[in-house]
Amino acid sequence: MEQFAKNMESARLMVEQRLSEFFPGGGLQEAMRYSLLGGGKRIRPILALKFCEAAGGTMEEALDFGCAVEMLHTYSLIHDDLPCMDDDDLRRGRPTSHKVFGECIATLAGDALQAAAFQTVACTVADWRSGGETAPGLAAGVLARAAGEEGMCGGQYYDTMGDGKPHTEEELLEIHDKKTGALLRAACVMGVIASFGHREVEEGCFAAAKEYATKLGLAFQIRDDMLDVIATEEDLGKPIGSDAENEKTTYVTLLGLEGCAERVKRYTEEAKTALRSCSWGGDTAFLEQLADELATRGN
């Protein structure tokens, strides 16, 4: 476990260093940087780096792809916090973007980060092709599907339209598979894409990466709902209990804490099993340990 923590921190620091090199200016760039460098676990870019390693590549090969995913994730958080969406005042223990810069600038910062994500992918140096497409082209397509109506935006739409209405477990799974799972899948698949320019990668690795991310995303979201009940505001760096206040259907309201814990355990095991369904060029031990760590996280 100590080695896992060291590997996690090494990957996180690599991501932090690269992210710090973007948007050094003032004005709108300052607002973009405020949210992008506002902390967080960096799970999505780390997944890209570690899936590249698992497929036989290096973390460096996937670094800019991973940073692009984090830019897109940050844009979604800025917009989620806006008064027209979740209307949150705190994010990771700091005032949200619209509280610091105003709604207009916060909205523009999110928009600009989304554009920057695709610019970062497009400008990644990769001189190999697959089926006539370049690595950046393939990765951009994956990221676009995760961001649009098939992914995050679609999930947020159905979540927003359902505010105040009861949901079944199946409906929640569908919403969160898009809202949370889509970007996790993109990170994992983009990591594999980054790896196979100079080496052979089994086709099944893509399916395994998608299945791992899907199950990880469900476990992650259910654990999130649990933490909204059992954690403190200091633990999460944002207000807790908002779901209950808004009479929002969550996994906890449907399943109770024990039922949620069972689902988290099941989806975590299914994520780990997915990794064993194909032959990898590298080691998947870190990814299995990451799934276990996220299942019991306290924030």
Whole-angstrom distance, CA of residue 112 vs CA of residue 105: 10
Tokens 């695709």, residue located: 118
- The pLDDT score that the predictor gives to residue 235 is 67
Residue 241 has pLDDT above 90, yes or no: no
- The radius of gyration of the chain's CA atoms, rounded to the nearest angstrom, is 18
Average pLDDT over residues 194-217: 91
Residue 131 has pLDDT above 70, yes or no: no
159 confidence band (pLDDT: 50, 70, 90):
confident
215 SS3 class: helix
Residue 66 has pLDDT above 80, yes or no: yes
Tokens 């223990």, residue located: 93
- Asked whether the beta carbons of 184 and 177 are under 8 A apart, the reply is no
pLDDT in tens, 15-43: 999 999 999 999 999 999 999 999 899 99
- pTM for the model stands at 0.93
pLDDT in tens, 253-273: 999 999 999 999 999 999 999
Nearest to 191, CA basis, from 5, 48, 3: 48
pLDDT in tens, 170-192: 999 999 999 999 999 999 999 99
- The pLDDT score that the predictor gives to residue 128 is 67
225 confidence band (pLDDT: 50, 70, 90):
very high
Q: Which residues contact 172 (CB under 8 A, 6 or more apart)?
A: 249, 250, 251, 254
- The pLDDT score that the predictor gives to residue 1 is 66
Most confident of 61-75, 158-172, 220-234, 239-253: 61-75
133 confidence band (pLDDT: 50, 70, 90):
confident
Nearest to 299, CA basis, from 222, 235, 232: 235
Residue 281 in tokens: 């060029």
Give CA separation, 255 vs 57, 76, 172, in Å.
41, 28, 12
Whole-angstrom distance, CA of residue 59 vs CA of residue 75: 24
248 confidence band (pLDDT: 50, 70, 90):
confident
167 SS3 class: coil
Q: What is the mean pLDDT of the chain?
A: 92
More confident residue, 233 or 256: 256
- Residues of the chain above pLDDT 90, percent: 77
Give CA separation, 21 vs 16, 17, 39, 143, 159, in Å.
9, 7, 15, 21, 34
281 SS3 class: coil
- The crossing angle, in degrees rounded to 10, of helices 59-81 and 152-161 is 20
Instruction: Please give the CATH topology (third level) of the domain spanning 2-295.
Output: Farnesyl Diphosphate Synthase (1.10.600)
CA 287, 71, 160, 148 torsion: positive or negative? Answer: negative
Residue 268 in tokens: 């975590």
Nearest to 177, CA basis, from 205, 219, 140: 219
pLDDT in tens, 85-122: 888 998 988 999 999 999 999 999 999 999 999 999 99
* Residue ranges in 179-250 assigned as alpha helix (H): 182-195, 204-230, 233-236, 242-245
Nearest to 185, CA basis, from 209, 221, 156: 209
Q: What does the domain layout of the chain look like in residue ranges?
A: 2-295
161 confidence band (pLDDT: 50, 70, 90):
confident
